[in-house]
Amino acid sequence: MQVLKFGGTSMGSAQAIEQVCEIVKNKKQNGRLTIVASAMSGITDKLIQVGTLAGQGQEQYKSVLEEIENKHLDTIRTLFPITAQSSIISQVKKRVNVLETLCDGIFQVGELSARSLDKIMSFGELVSSYLLAEKLKVSGLSAAWKDSRELIVTDGNYGNAAVNFLATNHQTNQYFQQESATYVVLPGFVAATADGETTTLGRGGSDYTAAIIAAALNADVLDIWTDVSGMMTADPRLVSQAIPIPHISYAEAMELSHFGAKVIYPPTIQPVMDKKIPIWIKNTFAPDDYGTLIHTPDGNGRNYPVTGISGIQKIALLTLEGSGMVGIPGFSKRLFEALLQEKINVILITQSSSEHSITVGIHEADMLKSKQAVDSEFAQEIQEKRIQPLVVERDMSIVAVVGDKMKNHHGTSGKLFAALGRNGVNIRAIAQGSTEKNISVVINKNDVKKALNVIHEAFFETPLKQVNVFIAGVGNVGGKLLEQLNQQHNFLMSELGLHVRVAGIASSKKMAFGHTSINLPEWRQLLENGEASDIKTFAQKIKTLNLRNSVFVDNTASPEVAAIYGEFLQHGISVVTCNKIACSSDYNYYKSLKDTARKFNASFLFETNVGAGLPVINTLNDLIRSGDKVNSIEAVLSGSLNFVFNNFVDGASFREVVKAAQDEGYTEPDPRIDLSGVDVMRKILILARESGARMELEDITNHSFLPAEALNAASVADFYEQLDVHAAHFKGLYEAANKEGKRLKFVARYENGKASVGLQSVAPDHPFYNLLGKDNIVLYTTNRYADQPLIVKGAGAGADVTASGIFADIIRSAR
Ligand code: ADP
Ligand code: ASP
Ligand code: MG
């Protein structure tokens, strides 16, 4: 004997029911098949709606009822030949009439009891199973329909009745002994009390019906036919990378289903497990897929300590706390008894080792009842201030990782917490079952999808890590960065196991997000059609999306953008920036960003703030992390100034050289930011701070070479005028250096906690003398590099190299 259960989607349309018949016919078997059917998908929800509306005295229940009737009649018309239709339609109409009469009564009284609701809900399974039986008969098979209410006996707990196994097994065996049909079809979900009142077995209960019958008949196997190819490593609707688990133990399946894996209704497993009957979960719409075999464990060579991950939403946490609990037995007993009295299901328990508090997780729907019950149980202690009133927190979810093998593996919880921690998921409570088959964490409901995905990634997708990049600023540098990300995408996947997705982009006016990720070759188009935005809206959207391994990239020079880094870091979102403002403004802001990043496990990287793509800051960080001490830094840090002074040779006009630098894109839009030395001051400030100095911009001495009239000119155009007015001054600077065989370099210096910038003439034997074009150079003199400084030198400006520096920071943050 085999028992097969077909779920709502499998029974959901005429086409699906035909597919069910195919599967049933193709089953090679000796002996009989018992088939348990769910209601057509969506029907139970609609029936509940009908009952609720009628109970509230709302007449719309009639139109919902009509929808239910039409769905079944349409199915009959497609499924059956015309000659067979009329008798089937009249049978179904009879049931519809009974339902209508029942609902009219409820509407009149204006009250829906649990008992009436069970009668209403039973319609779905009674009709769907009848249609399936008729279809098998029409196909020429020896089929019979039997009402499960005549087989399964329960108590009167309507909506979630408890089975009387003794009576059920007796009636079931008796019926099957006298029934001769090869295919027996039964409605799932429905049962009856000993007096014949209709009951139901809880939402999703058709699985349970099938298990009860399989156990009663000592079936060889119980098939659960559904709409996915087995029990999967996580809910495929939430984790797109989830994969089916071919073999799983009863205990693991029970834990996963109890913690939200809806594919099988939790009570289903016990009756068949007791009889060692295997459960095979199969996909009606892909019957050749292996599916999942639930049986006595051996793991079948599985090498993951974790078998699957699931989650329960809409959880509330109850915390009972107070000094009066310490060392006094009986508090938890009274807490649980108070909850039991109200039939409140406790899903998770944790107690602090100080016994000062106990926390339980329950369904949010039971929140108010719990609060009343517990506060009244402890009224005396609360009044005497030995215990505080029960604290209730809502909007929580539980995520559980499950696996028989976890107990033999150390480090499972470490990996779990690290994955959540890196992604800014705050854990409110933790529970580990003493069998070590399950670790559950309570988190905020908004974090569930992210949490499931990062945990899944940590345990099942080791080779590939998804990184979600959000880019503000898509001008020169941003544009190049997008180009490079596009070009390197496949290389990063295959060589580094990084799946870098650009999930959102923003200019100063618009923003666009990809459904999964932005198709990079089309980014300009997408942005053009994007929504209007400002940086605050963009940031809000990034936080709401709450994607794992998120990185925010700032390619702007905007103070507004620099001001929101803290918000990202606090949410565990890494920040990569070429914008110098944050690191060179107020020391406290810079420091707070570094501290926040550390606290929330996010990266805050700004390599491109100094020397574009050159490894200036990383080299410095590496020296200091490895215990070295920086004694001095001497550097040429302005690509723009270097370009200017390298081209300002005999006969050249200073104004024209500056103009050329601007036209080439080597200066800021206002060239004074470069020429005044302010940009270099910012850079040496950042290096000083990264060396450990607590320094502000005002602490740096600037020996400016610009005449005050040029520096303070009203506009950029006036500034250029002033360069001509002061042409002799610039010429003088050049000639003085040239006469001594020296070259002009704008040098930044940091030594003994002091920093300065200024124009300097350097001799041919100095490392700065031969610095070409827009190159940068940094000399670190440290305890280890005492005689000869460590030198970093190369192109220090330009969109391409800056973009590649940002790119490298993105990869660094991801790893
Ligand atoms: P049926 O109507 O066949 O009983 P259900 O809707 O009750 O089907 O259960 C199947 C659904 O369970 C799947 O479509 C899937 O979305 C969901 N599900 C949740 N967790 C898991 C999991 N770990 N593995 C497979 N499916 C899951
Ligand atoms: N039809 C019922 C429900 O939707 C039972 C089931 O499908 O298992 O809950
Ligand atoms: Mg189900």
Q: Which of 553, 577, 606 is the last residue of a domain?
A: 606
Place 746 in a pLDDT band, splitting at 50, 70 and 90. very high
Nearest residue by C-alpha to atom 10 in ligand 1: 263
Clarify whether residues 622 and 577 are in a common domain. Answer: no
Q: How many whole angstroms from 16 Cα to the centroid of ligand 2? A: 17
Q: Please give the Cα distance from 223 to 207 (Å, whole number).
A: 10
Q: What is the rounded CA–CA span in Å between residue 284 and residue 291?
A: 10
Asked about 683 being catalytic, the answer comes back as yes
Query: Does 364 fall in a domain?
Result: yes
Q: For the CA atoms of 651, 656, 662, 667, what is the dihedral angle to 10 degrees?
A: 50
669, part of any domain: yes
Show the tokens assigned to 169.
């097994």
* 345 Cβ contact partners less than 8 Å away, ≥ 6 residues apart: 362, 363, 366
The domain that holds 602 is classified in CATH as: 3.40.50.720
Are 39 and 148 contained in the same domain?
yes
| Token pair of 137 as six digits | 């008969």
Q: Please tell me whether residue 152 adopts helix, strand or coil conformation.
A: coil
What is the number of the ligand closest to the CA of 263? Answer: 1
Q: What percent of the chain has a predicted confidence (pLDDT) above 90?
A: 79
Domain end among 410, 430, 452: 452
* 441 and 469 co-located in one domain: no
The predicted-structure confidence for 422-444, as pLDDT tens digits, reads as follows 888 999 888 887 677 889 999 99
Return the H-helix or E-strand segment holding 121. Answer: helix 114-138
Task: Provide mean pLDDT across the span 107-125.
Answer: 97
Site to probe by mutation for ligand 2, drawn from 47, 203, 262 as the one with most ligand atoms within 8 Å of Cβ, is 203
Each residue's pLDDT tens digit, 451-473: 999 999 888 876 678 899 999 99
Cα→Cα distances 280→203, 269, 307, 475, Å: 21, 11, 17, 56
User: Looking at the CA of 255, which ligand is closest?
Assistant: 1
Q: What are the structure tokens assigned to 496, written together?
A: 């580094």
Whether residue 804 is contained in a domain is answered as no
pLDDT digits (tens, 9 = 90+) for 128-170: 999 999 999 999 999 999 999 999 999 999 999 999 999 999 9
Q: Is residue 50 part of a domain?
A: yes
- Mean local confidence (pLDDT), 584-604: 95
Residue 34, pLDDT > 60, answer yes
Instruction: Identify the pLDDT of residue 298.
Output: 58
What is the Cα–Cα distance from 36 to 788, expressed in whole angstroms?
A: 83
pLDDT tens figures, 259-309:
889 999 999 999 999 999 999 999 999 999 999 999 976 555 566 788 999
At 460 the pLDDT is: 85
| One domain, residues 555 and 695 | no
Residue 432 Cα, ligand 3 centroid: separation in angstroms? 27
CATH number at residue 792: 3.30.360.10
In a domain, 104, yes or no: yes
Q: How far is the CA of 38 from the centre of ligand 1 (A)?
A: 14
CA distance 100 to 123: 11
Mean pLDDT of 360-372: 95
Mutate to test the pocket of ligand 1, among 20, 223, 262, 289 (most ligand atoms within 8 A of CB): 262
Distance in Å, CA 148 to ligand 2 centroid? 14
* Ligand 2 within 6 A of CB of 124: yes
**Ligand 1 atom with minimal separation from the 232 CA:** 24
Range of the domain at 753: 616-798
Q: Look at the block and give the residue holding tokens 């009649």.
A: 73
Mean pLDDT score of the chain: 93
Residues by chain with Cβ below 5 Å of ion ligand 3:
7, 204
Cα–Cα distance, 12 to 7 (Å, whole number)? 8
Evaluate: CB of 8 within 6 angstroms of ligand 2.
Answer: yes
CA angle 467, 511, 530 (to 5 degrees): 120
Q: Which of 771, 783, 784 is nearest to 614 (CA)?
A: 771
Residue 29: pLDDT band by 50, 70, 90 thresholds?
Answer: low
Claim to verify: residue 433 and residue 551 sit in the same structural domain? no
Tokens found for residue 740: 């001594």
Are residues 423 and 354 part of one domain? yes
pLDDT of 351: 78
Ligand 2 centroid distance, CA of 206 (Å) = 6
What CA–CA distance (Å, rounded) separates 379 from 602? 45
Q: Which atom of ligand 2 has the smallest separation from the CA of 38?
A: 7
Mutate to test the pocket of ligand 2, among 189, 190, 212, 226 (most ligand atoms within 8 A of CB): 189
Rounded Cα distance, 302 and 248, in Å: 10
pLDDT score recorded for residue 353: 65
Instruction: Provide the pLDDT for residue 670.
Output: 87
648 and 512 belong to one structural domain = no
Cβ within 8 Å of residue 494, ≥6 positions away: none
The answer to whether residues 143 and 184 touch, using CB atoms and an 8 Å cutoff, is yes
- Please indicate whether residue 39, judged by its CB atom, sits closer than 6 Å to ligand 2: yes
State the closest ligand 1 atom to the C-alpha of 6, by its place in the atom list counted from 1: 3
Interatomic CA distance for residues 76 and 187, integer angstroms: 17
* Closest CA to ligand 1's atom 12: 263
Question: Out of 211-220, 326-335, 388-397, which region has the weakest mean confidence (pLDDT)?
Answer: 326-335
Q: Which of 38, 127, 213 to mutate to test the pocket of ligand 2 (most atoms within 8 A of CB)?
A: 38
Which of 551, 577, 606 is at the close of a domain?
606
Q: Choose the weakest-confidence range: 230-234, 270-274, 576-580, 665-669.
A: 665-669
Work out the angle between the directed axes of helices 412-422 and 448-460 (0-180°, nearest 10): 130
Q: How many residues does the chain have?
A: 815
499-534 pLDDT, tens digit per residue, is 899 999 999 999 999 877 888 999 999 999 999 989
**What CATH number should be reported for the domain holding residue 410?**
3.30.2130.10
Q: Residue 360 is encoded by which pair of tokens?
A: 């339980």
- pLDDT bracket for residue 94 (50, 70, 90): very high
Pocket test for ligand 1, best of 224, 235, 460 (most atoms within 8 A of CB): 235
In a domain, 532, yes or no: yes
The answer to whether residue 324 scores a pLDDT higher than 90 is no
- Which residue in 397, 328, 338, 399 sits closest to 364, CA to CA? 397
Residue nearest to atom 5 of ligand 1 (CA): 263
What atom in ligand 2 is closest to the CA of residue 205?
A: 8
Helices (H), 6-42: 14-26
Tell me the CATH number at 165: 3.40.1160.10
Q: Which two tokens stand for residue 573?
A: 């979102």
Whether the Cβ atoms of residue 162 and residue 155 lie closer than 8 Å to each other? yes
> 776 lies in a domain?
yes
Q: Please give the distance, rounded to the nearest whole angstrom, from the Cα atom of residue 223 to the centre of ligand 1.
A: 15
How far does the centroid of ligand 1 lie from the alpha carbon of residue 458, in Å? 23
Q: Can you give the pTM of this predicted structure?
A: 0.70
For residue 635, the model assigns a pLDDT of 96
- 773 in the same domain as 753: yes
pLDDT in the model for residue 437: 85
Tell me: pLDDT of 544 over 60. Answer: yes
- In ligand 1, the atom with minimum distance to the C-alpha of 309 is 23
Q: Give yes or no for residue 38 CB within 6 A of ligand 2.
A: yes
| Dist. CA 6–CA 256, nearest whole Å | 21
SS (H, E, C) 592-610: HHHHHHHHCCCCEECHHHC
**What local confidence, expressed as pLDDT, does residue 463 receive?**
66
Separation of alpha carbons 387 and 373, rounded Å = 15
Give ligand 1 pocket residues (Cβ under 6 A).
Answer: 7-10, 38, 204, 226-228, 231-232, 234-237, 261-263, 308, 310
Q: For residue 253, which ligand has an atom nearest its CA?
A: 1
State how far the Cα of 781 lies from the Cα of 348, in Å rounded to an integer: 58
Please tell me whether residues 571 and 669 are part of one structural domain.
no
| 631 pLDDT higher than 60 | yes
Q: How far apart are CA 120 and CA 311, in angstroms?
A: 30
CA of 20 to the centre of ligand 2 (A): 17
* b/e 466-488 (16+ beta carbons within 10 angstroms → b): bbbbbbbbbeebbbbbbbbbeeb
554 and 641, same domain (yes or no): no
Query: What are φ and ψ of residue 649, in 5° steps?
Result: -120, -175
Same domain (yes/no): 481, 342: no
Considering only CA atoms, which residue is closest to atom 5 of ligand 2?
204
Query: For 769-809, what is each residue's pLDDT tens digit?
Result: 998 888 899 999 999 999 999 999 998 878 889 999 999 99
Buried-exposed string 508-519: b where 16+ CB fall within 10 A, e elsewhere: bebbbbbeebbe
Contact 196, 154 (CB under 8 A): no
300 Cα–ligand 3 center, Å: 26
The pair of structure tokens assigned to 163 is: 């089975």
Tokens of 393: 């927190």
Which of 721, 723, 717 lies closest to 705 in space, CA to CA?
A: 723
Written as one string, the DSSP assignment of 51-83 is HHHHHTT-TTHHHHHHHHHHHHHHHHHHHS-HH
Catalytic residue among 683, 745, 774, 793: 683
Ligand 2: does its nearest atom lie under 6 Å from the Cβ of 75? Answer: no
Pairing type for strands 438-444 and 427-432 reads antiparallel
Q: Which ligand is nearest to the CA of 43?
A: 2
Tally of domains within the chain: 4
Do 640 and 537 have their domain in common?
no
Q: Is residue 52 part of a domain?
A: yes
- CA atoms within a 13 Å half-sphere pointing along the CA-CB vector of 180: 0
Backbone phi, psi, residue 338, to 5°: -60, -40
122 closest CA partner among 43, 62, 53, 34: 43
